[in-house]
Amino acid sequence: TAQRSICILGATGSIGASTLDLVRRNPAQWRVTVLTAHSNVAELVKLAREFAVDLAVVADEAHLPALREALGGSGIETAGGPQALVEAAARGADMTVAAIVGCAGLAPTMAAIEQGRVIALANKEALVSAGEVMMAAVVRHGATLLPIDSEHNAIFQCLQGNDIANVRSITLTASGGPFRDWSWEQLQAATPAQAVKHPNWDMGAKISVDSATMFNKGLELIEAHYLFPVGLDRLRIVVHPQSVVHSMVEYRDGSTLAQLGPSDMRVPIASALAWPNRMDTPCAPLDLAAIGELTFRQPDENRFPATRLARRAAEAGGAIPAVLNAANEVAVAAFLAGQIPFTRIAADVEDVLGAYAPPAPASLDDVLAVDAEARARASMVSGPA
């Protein structure tokens, strides 16, 4: 097969690194054209040189001089700032991997969608915020959206060859995070260092905190609602501490299909990169006898209210998921900065949701305006005491 071009938005992050690890092992299949970062110039330069890319972009313009200096004479183009990020995504590639964290990835992801090619989506906050606006753009521009998030990738795989009209329910599995068995008193004293240490997955700081609060599963519920429109009442969450079953689809005849695999994001990423084919990964094969037991239980929405808030936001639809996401991003940053206790994250998100309910956005600009206003309000709520 012919070499395919690939653009990686958020190349210096955890998902970016896992993607480039797979690309590195299959040099004949891929030509990396664009890599972007926020501010990690040292890593971006290293990767840009290794993969001999066309263009390297830093979203934070303050780092552009350093990027220029480091790549001077290399023949690699450089650019900086949020607009440059959007233009880089709009160059289009056979595949764009959307791996920026947060709503900051929305505009470039939309620019890639508008090219009508294949988007491998890790950046769940972008889809949660833009919802119907993003899904409509996917249809309008004839783009293909392949989910990388392990649960959604699992569901996508379990739906292959089936009619979504025959789905009785979809169950997202959740590890439960590092505080799964902690009491409310313990949760109140949880520190950022404890929150970013996930038992099963090695991820960026923001999603690690989301996993600890269960906002990750809440965002994923909304993500699933947009990707797989079976109705919210057919979307379930079950806690599965071993993270072996990555999600399941139950059909009307009583058959449930599940996707299983090691807790290594290179598996779902490889599934998206090679789709509809398959490729090798270096991941250790699943050894069920060694794992021994797979367990499942109901989530506890008293200790972890995030999934309840997310379900409510998904039911409201329109702009409300964007408000929830923005408030969560601000609260997570405040928690990581030591400004609010862990249990304030969900409480603050609930406060912002209760005070701000803008009308449904009709365009990307509308979504970005809702995001900005929700952030401003959230900063008042989650700001330093």
The answer to the question of whether 21 is labelled as a binding residue is no
CA quadruple 172, 175, 178, 179: dihedral positive or negative?
positive
Q: Are strands 245-251 and 235-239 parallel, antiparallel or unpaired?
A: unpaired
Q: Least distance to Mg ion from the beta carbon of 219, Å?
A: 9
- Contact residue for ligand NDP among 13, 176, 262, 305 (CB under 6 A): 13
The closest residue (CB) to ligand NDP is 13
Judged by CB under 6 A, the chain residues 89 through 128 that form the site for ligand NDP are 99-101, 104, 122-125
Alpha carbons 296 and 239: distance in angstroms, whole number: 6
The answer to the question of whether 124 is labelled as a binding residue is yes
Alpha carbons 74 and 51: distance in angstroms, whole number: 12
Helix (H) or strand (E) holding 101: none
220 binds ligand NDP (CB under 6 A): no
Smaller CB distance to ligand NDP: residue 102 or 351?
Answer: 102
Judged by CB under 5 A, the chain residues 135 through 154 that form the site for Mg ion are 149-151
Alpha carbons 350 and 82: distance in angstroms, whole number: 30
207 binds ligand NDP (CB under 6 A): yes
- Tell me which residue of 64, 120, 126 sits closest to 56, measured CA to CA: 64
Alpha carbons 80 and 102: distance in angstroms, whole number: 18
The answer to the question of whether 197 is labelled as a binding residue is no
- Tell me which residue of 375, 373, 298, 285 sits closest to 334, measured CA to CA: 375
Q: Least distance to ligand NDP from the beta carbon of 86, Å?
A: 11
Contacts of 197 (CB under 8 A, 6+ apart): 178, 208
Beta bridge partners of 251: 167
**364-382 and 344-355 helices, crossing angle to 10°:** 130
* Binds 29: which of ligand NDP, Mg ion, none (CB < 5-8 Å by kind): none
- Report how many residues bind ligand NDP under the rule CB under 6 A: 27
Q: Least distance to Mg ion from the beta carbon of 196, Å?
A: 16
In 10 A of CB 377, how many CB atoms? 18
* Binds 54: which of ligand NDP, Mg ion, none (CB < 5-8 Å by kind): none
Q: Least distance to Mg ion from the beta carbon of 248, Å?
A: 14
Smaller CB distance to ligand NDP: residue 189 or 372?
Answer: 372
How open is the CA angle 227-59-78, to the nearest 5 degrees? 115
The closest residue (CB) to Mg ion is 149
Smaller CB distance to ligand NDP: residue 40 or 144?
Answer: 40
Contact 212, 187 (CB under 8 A): no
Binding mask 32-71 for ligand NDP (x = CB under 6 A): -----xxxx------------------x------------
In a 10 Å sphere around its CB, with 0-12 CB exposed, 13-18 middle and 19+ buried, how is residue 290 labelled?
A: exposed
The answer to the question of whether 149 is labelled as a binding residue is yes
Contacts of 162 (CB under 8 A, 6+ apart): 249, 251, 257
Q: Least distance to ligand NDP from the beta carbon of 141, Å?
A: 22
Stretch of residues binding ligand NDP (CB under 6 A), selected from 5-13, 131-139, 318-326, 370-378: 5-13
* Binds 176: which of Mg ion, ligand NDP, none (CB < 5-8 Å by kind): none
- Contact residue for ligand NDP among 265, 267, 320, 374 (CB under 6 A): 265
Smaller CB distance to Mg ion: residue 149 or 371?
Answer: 149
Interacting residues toward ligand NDP by CB under 6 A: 10-16, 37-40, 59, 99-101, 104, 122-125, 149, 201, 203-204, 206-207, 265
Interacting residues toward Mg ion by CB under 5 A: 149-151
Binding site for NADPH, by residue number, is 12-15, 40, 123, 125, 204
